[in-house]
Amino acid sequence: MKKFAAFLTIVLAVTFSAGLVISADAPDKVTIKEIQKTKAPVQFNHKAHATERAKACKDCHHKSEAGKEEKCSKCHKAKAEDKVVELKEAFHTTCKNCHKKMAKGPTKCDDCHKK
């Protein structure tokens, strides 16, 4: 039983530390400006989200393999295509829903889109 507990501890440690190693390559700050029309671009601390807030990269980068995350605009475009929602909707749904669920983080327009 002690061997199994030690093995399980090692597996869990490796699993959780892998996310930190992968997120170490994450950019510090990100500016989202691909679809701006009337609101200011959104800037956020990507490094903090990657290391402290999200449990895994796939929480936001839902279709990417670990270590091969791509920008949301790779799949989500200015207009919806087939079953893929438009980029603005993808950001608003993912970010705002997470902020509401965690009861922290901006949820109003001007909280993200600084003037």
> Average pLDDT, whole number, for the chain?
80
Give pTM, 2 decimals: 0.65
For residues 53 and 51, give the distance between their C-alpha atoms in angstroms, rounded to a whole number: 6
In the predicted structure, residue 39 carries a pLDDT above the cut 90: no
* Residue-level pLDDT at 21: 44
For residues 6 and 84, give the distance between their C-alpha atoms in angstroms, rounded to a whole number: 44
| Full set of structural domains in the chain with CATH | 2-65+73-110 (3.90.10.10)
For residues 113 and 115, give the distance between their C-alpha atoms in angstroms, rounded to a whole number: 6
In the predicted structure, residue 111 carries a pLDDT above the cut 80: yes
Bridge-based pairing of strands 42-45 and 29-32 is antiparallel
